[in-house]
């Protein structure tokens, strides 16, 4: 019997709880259950046997938590524990058709960006388990709450074995997992990755899970698996609240919503499985969906492409000096601010393109995708012409992205489409080929058709194929404008595909570009454009999309439109009228917008350095003095520092545009030490140091000792700032300093953090102790001038 053959049955039956049964057999709460595979195999064998006798077609080996992290200090290896687990299960199945699943639960560590475990490290942990459990008939990833962790797990399985994969995740009553993963995001992402069945287990009983199952059914083309708890537990006694017959009745209702594979989780036992099998005998099963809605998603946000939407175009260095500069300097924060501001302006998706000669584009794409998805939940469009760069981005993306792009050239089709398929992305096809962009709509349509056929042939479903009919500049080829629009209509009507268009090119070489762009965008939408690649920070462009959605009736009762344009409640107005406000005042009062405006105005008549040295630095000094005297407090100090930063951004932009790099007062290396992830204090110090003109090399948090030493050498830095917040991580601070001293580096070390004292700082060999961010600046002045 194979899993595929089993799926021919009306229903497939799994087993019930393992943990509940082990506790009944005397396992202590909090102990590691998988060790029983070695210490009491007969107990585990007996439980398996009971489920097989009850009628389970698949039993889960007792391997749920047997990963490198959880078994770290138990004295047994993953291979031993999993090997014994699979063997016990196989032994119990001997002489039956029952299959054995390698059961894998969450690692037990939170992944980046919230946690400190990297995606790559998670992959390695799963890989070890998968290699240890290859003798199983299939793999089950269950009780998962983080879609990113699941993606690492599925990739590890797909790349290291050929076993079928079932994934079930754990949802709460709000239809979300603890990390915010939605039902649709799970379904879109995992079906894209090519797993064999998806579903839901644990957390709730079958009654509470019924609406979650109903929702999943809408998004599911493949068999659905459900393993509910035996109701809800009583916290005082741990007892679950529904009987086996109630359980079976609720499960039977799930059959109306695509249920195919069923078992029980916490609180269930062989009787629950028996009752379920008996109850489902006369129940009719429903088929999964044939076609899914066209949608893209992050882990938590599913964007349906059912109306015109905005792809924010700004994370693309073409023609953008500041972004190029940021990419060269590895300044990821600049990219993140572009992401945040586009999201706030109303973008539905974000394009991410980091193509710049001379940088490691692959590495930068990986970093950029990881970082951008940590600050926004908008789905991404991963944009590159280089297959390896696309793959680097797709691999670490948490959700279902759009790939920009493939085109009609053979080489492009052959290289890009397999990557799109492997990572389960959607793909954007450009209507051009070896011959360039054809002039006529019919010719572009033919290329679009070819791209579609090739994508379908490789197994990319139709709803995941998008076409860009390409826009040329109206000033050079006026007659081509209508050809583009005509092609959009043909692709929509005749191929039934969604369309995308980069709009801004249309106005190249013309005055009043905004006017031309927004008019063309509106025309394109009326011809059927679904996704416009635009700058959402230009009000007229975003406004055109919002107004179109309203007028076309997508925005029911104008709810979104009104919400976007209703007046936001004003912040308390400062005393000074905004026309005669000074920059000094704006900095003191924390008024960012005003500071930006005033600085821009000042730069029309004054030299950049005059503004810095004559206004900003004195303002910061005076705020620093107020802070030291206790007249103002930390949040106000930081607020003012943020305003000064805004003013500096304006100045920096002007200087870079004039090809004048700003002058640095010296480099400071900052790091939150190994093991510690509380970095807010370090980040506050960074803002303040930058305010005073120092270049900060920010190594981030949880920084290995060696990385600090390497950075000091690489940047020839004379000052290193280390922070730690936990008593448990102070020792890492001492180790880092020790390593700096051993390498005889010519630099001084300043330390800070809530649990530090001046005495302890001295004891671990730091040169300075800073009680707050302001004092760090004073120390930097002393050391670096």
Partner 1 sequence: MIKIDKINTAEALRYMCAADAADPILIQKVEATAAELLKIIKPVYTYKIFPIEFSESGILLSGTSLVLTGKSAREHFSGCHSVIAMAATLSGFADRFIQTAEISDMAKALIADSLCTAAIEQVCDIAESEIMSALPKENYYTWRFSAGYGDLPLDIQPLILRVLNAEKVIGLTINDSLIMLPRKSVTAFIGISDRPIEKKRKGCALCSMCKSCQYRQKGTHC
Binding site for partner 1 (CB under 8 A): 28-31, 106, 108-110, 113-117, 143, 145, 170, 172-174, 177-180, 202-203, 235-236, 238, 333, 336-337, 340-341, 374-376, 571-572, 574, 589-591, 632-636, 638-639, 641-642, 675-680, 683-684, 687, 726-729, 754-757
Give the nearer residue to partner 1 in terms of CB position, either 341 or 582: 341
Other C-beta atoms closer than 10 Å to the C-beta of 340 total 13
Q: Which residues contact 356 (CB under 8 A, 6 or more apart)?
A: 317, 324, 327, 328, 364
Asked if residue 524 lies in contact with residue 503, where contact means CB atoms within 8 angstroms, the answer is yes
Taking the complex as a whole, the smallest distance from the CB of residue 494 to partner 1 amounts, in Å, to 43
Give the nearer residue to partner 1 in terms of CB position, either 192 or 379: 379
Taking the complex as a whole, the smallest distance from the CB of residue 294 to partner 1 amounts, in Å, to 28
Taking the complex as a whole, the smallest distance from the CB of residue 336 to partner 1 amounts, in Å, to 5
Q: Where are the beta strands (DSSP E) in 308-457?
A: 309-315, 349-352, 380-383, 399-400, 402-407, 426-430
Asked if residue 489 lies in contact with residue 444, where contact means CB atoms within 8 angstroms, the answer is no
d(CA 393, CA 362): 8
Task: Please count the CA atoms within 13 angstroms of the CA of 273 that sit on its side-chain side.
Answer: 29
Give the nearer residue to partner 1 in terms of CB position, either 31 or 411: 31
Taking the complex as a whole, the smallest distance from the CB of residue 146 to partner 1 amounts, in Å, to 9
Asked if residue 272 lies in contact with residue 54, where contact means CB atoms within 8 angstroms, the answer is no
Taking the complex as a whole, the smallest distance from the CB of residue 149 to partner 1 amounts, in Å, to 11
Taking the complex as a whole, the smallest distance from the CB of residue 553 to partner 1 amounts, in Å, to 29
Give the nearer residue to partner 1 in terms of CB position, either 63 or 683: 683
Give the nearer residue to partner 1 in terms of CB position, either 161 or 731: 731
d(CA 27, CA 36): 9
Taking the complex as a whole, the smallest distance from the CB of residue 728 to partner 1 amounts, in Å, to 5
Asked if residue 169 lies in contact with residue 106, where contact means CB atoms within 8 angstroms, the answer is no
Give the nearer residue to partner 1 in terms of CB position, either 4 or 762: 762
d(CA 577, CA 600): 18
d(CA 269, CA 150): 27
Taking the complex as a whole, the smallest distance from the CB of residue 340 to partner 1 amounts, in Å, to 5
Taking the complex as a whole, the smallest distance from the CB of residue 313 to partner 1 amounts, in Å, to 20
Give the nearer residue to partner 1 in terms of CB position, either 299 or 520: 299
Closest to 152 (Cα-Cα) out of 134, 117, 126, 184: 126
Taking the complex as a whole, the smallest distance from the CB of residue 469 to partner 1 amounts, in Å, to 36
Give the nearer residue to partner 1 in terms of CB position, either 280 or 699: 699
Q: Which residues contact 587 (CB under 8 A, 6 or more apart)?
A: 595, 616, 619, 620, 623, 640, 643, 644, 647
Q: With b meaning 16 or more CB within 10 Å and e meaning fewer, what string describes 472-494?
A: bbbeeeeebbebbbbbbbbbbee
d(CA 336, CA 322): 13
Give the nearer residue to partner 1 in terms of CB position, either 398 or 499: 398
Give the nearer residue to partner 1 in terms of CB position, either 112 or 391: 112
Residue 146 sits at the vertex; the CA angle it makes with 140 and 148, to the nearest 5 degrees, is 90
Taking the complex as a whole, the smallest distance from the CB of residue 276 to partner 1 amounts, in Å, to 22
Token couple for 224? 């659905």
Give the nearer residue to partner 1 in terms of CB position, either 178 or 554: 178
Asked if residue 159 lies in contact with residue 184, where contact means CB atoms within 8 angstroms, the answer is no
Give the nearer residue to partner 1 in terms of CB position, either 63 or 729: 729
Taking the complex as a whole, the smallest distance from the CB of residue 546 to partner 1 amounts, in Å, to 22
Token couple for 582? 């000074």
Asked if residue 242 lies in contact with residue 230, where contact means CB atoms within 8 angstroms, the answer is yes
Taking the complex as a whole, the smallest distance from the CB of residue 32 to partner 1 amounts, in Å, to 8
d(CA 341, CA 324): 18
Give the nearer residue to partner 1 in terms of CB position, either 299 or 445: 299
Give the nearer residue to partner 1 in terms of CB position, either 54 or 730: 730
In this structure, the strands spanning 302-304 and 295-298 are antiparallel
Give the nearer residue to partner 1 in terms of CB position, either 497 or 583: 583
Long-range pairs, 343-346, Cβ under 8 A, ≥24:
343/312, 343/376, 343/378, 345/312, 345/536, 345/537, 345/542, 346/310, 346/536, 346/542, 346/545, 346/546, 346/564
Taking the complex as a whole, the smallest distance from the CB of residue 116 to partner 1 amounts, in Å, to 6
Taking the complex as a whole, the smallest distance from the CB of residue 753 to partner 1 amounts, in Å, to 9
Give the nearer residue to partner 1 in terms of CB position, either 161 or 726: 726
Closest to 313 (Cα-Cα) out of 358, 352, 371: 352
Q: Which residues contact 653 (CB under 8 A, 6 or more apart)?
A: 322
Asked if residue 719 lies in contact with residue 666, where contact means CB atoms within 8 angstroms, the answer is yes
What is residue 544's three-state secondary structure?
Answer: helix
Asked if residue 719 lies in contact with residue 669, where contact means CB atoms within 8 angstroms, the answer is yes
Residue at token pair 């014994």: 84
Taking the complex as a whole, the smallest distance from the CB of residue 246 to partner 1 amounts, in Å, to 22
Closest to 449 (Cα-Cα) out of 492, 503, 484: 492
């Amino acid at each position: 019997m194979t899993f595929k053959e089993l799926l021919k049955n009306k229903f497939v039956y799994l087993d019930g709880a393992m943990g509940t049964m082990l506790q009944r057999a005397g396992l202590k709460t909090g102990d590691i259950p998988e060790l029983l595979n070695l210490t009491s195999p007969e107990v585990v064998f007996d439980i398996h046997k009971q489920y097989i006798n009850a009628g389970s077609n698949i039993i889960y080996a007792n391997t749920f938590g047997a990963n490198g992290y959880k078994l770290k200090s138990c004295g047994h290896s993953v291979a031993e524990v999993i090997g014994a687990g699979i063997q016990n299960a196989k032994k119990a199945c001997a002489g039956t058709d029952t299959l054995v699943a390698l059961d894998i639960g969450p690692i037990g560590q939170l992944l980046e960006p919230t946690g400190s475990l990297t995606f790559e490290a998670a992959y390695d942990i799963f890989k070890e388990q998968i290699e240890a459990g290859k003798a199983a008939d299939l793999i089950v990833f269950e009780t998962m709450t983080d879609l990113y962790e699941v993606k690492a797990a599925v990739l590890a399985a797909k790349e290291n074995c050929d076993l079928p994969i079932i994934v079930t995740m754990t949802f709460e009553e709000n239809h979300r997992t603890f990390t915010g993963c939605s039902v649709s995001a799970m379904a879109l992402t995992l079906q894209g990755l090519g797993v064999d069945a998806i579903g839901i287990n644990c957390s709730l009983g079958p009654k509470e899970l019924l609406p979650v199952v109903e929702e999943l059914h809408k998004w599911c083309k493949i068999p659905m698996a459900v393993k509910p708890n035996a109701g809800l537990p009583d916290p005082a006694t741990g007892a679950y609240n529904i009987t086996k017959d109630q359980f079976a009745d609720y499960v039977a209702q799930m059959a109306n919503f695509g249920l195919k594979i069923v078992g029980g989780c916490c609180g269930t036992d062989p009787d629950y499985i028996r009752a379920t099998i008996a109850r489902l005998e006369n129940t009719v099963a429903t088929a999964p969906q044939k076609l899914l809605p066209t949608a893209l998603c992050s882990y938590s946000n599913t964007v349906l492409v059912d109306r015109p939407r905005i792809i924010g175009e700004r994370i693309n260095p073409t023609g953008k000096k500041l972004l190029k500069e940021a990419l060269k300097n590895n300044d990821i924060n600049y990219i993140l601010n572009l992401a945040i501001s586009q999201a706030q302006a109303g973008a539905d998706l974000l394009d991410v393109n980091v193509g710049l000669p001379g940088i490691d584009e692959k590495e930068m794409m990986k970093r950029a995708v990881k970082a951008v998805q940590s600050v926004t939940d908008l789905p991404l469009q991963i944009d590159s012409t280089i297959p390896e760069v696309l793959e680097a981005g797709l691999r670490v993306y948490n959700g279902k992205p759009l790939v920009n792009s493939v085109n009609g050239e053979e080489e492009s089709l052959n290289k890009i489409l397999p990557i799109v398929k492997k990572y389960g992305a959607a793909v954007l096809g450009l209507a051009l080929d070896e011959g360039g962009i054809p002039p006529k709509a019919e010719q572009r349509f033919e290329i679009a058709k070819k791209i579609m056929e090739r994508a379908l042939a490789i197994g990319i479903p139709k709803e995941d194929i998008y076409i860009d009919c390409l826009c040329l500049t109206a000033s050079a080829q006026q007659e081509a404008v209508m050809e583009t629009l005509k092609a959009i209509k043909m692709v929509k009507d005749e191929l039934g595909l969604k369309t995308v268009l980069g709009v801004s090119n249309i106005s190249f070489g013309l005055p009043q570009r905004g006017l031309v762009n927004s008019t063309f965008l509106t025309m394109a939408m009326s011809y059927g454009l679904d996704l416009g690649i635009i700058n959402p920070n230009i009000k007229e462009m975003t406004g055109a999309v919002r107004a179109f959605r309203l007028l076309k009736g997508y925005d029911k009762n104008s709810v979104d439109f009104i919400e976007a344009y209703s007046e936001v409640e004003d912040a308390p107005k400062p005393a000074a009228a905004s026309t005669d406000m000074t920059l000094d005042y704006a900095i003191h009062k924390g008024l960012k917008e005003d500071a930006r405006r005033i600085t821009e105005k000042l730069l029309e008549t004054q030299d950049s350095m005059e503004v810095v040295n004559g206004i900003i630095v004195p303002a910061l000094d005076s705020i620093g003095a107020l802070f030291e005297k206790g007249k103002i407090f930390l949040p106000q100090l930081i607020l003012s520092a943020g305003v000064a930063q805004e003013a500096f951004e304006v100045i920096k932009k002007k200087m870079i545009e004039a090809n004048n790099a700003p002058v640095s007062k010296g480099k400071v290396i900052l790091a939150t030490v190994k093991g510690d992830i509380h970095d807010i204090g370090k980040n506050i110090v960074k803002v303040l140091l930058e305010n005073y003109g120092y270049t900060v090399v920010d190594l981030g948090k949880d920084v290995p000792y060696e990385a600090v030493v390497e950075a000091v050498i690489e940047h020839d830095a004379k000052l290193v700032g280390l922070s730690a917040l936990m008593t448990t991580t102070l020792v890492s601070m001492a180790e880092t300093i020790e390593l700096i001293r051993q390498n005889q580096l010519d630099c001084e070390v300043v330390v800070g953090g809530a649990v530090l004292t001046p005495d302890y700082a001295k004891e671990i060999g730091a040169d300075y102790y800073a009680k707050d961010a302001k004092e760090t600046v004073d120390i930097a002045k002393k050391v670096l001038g």
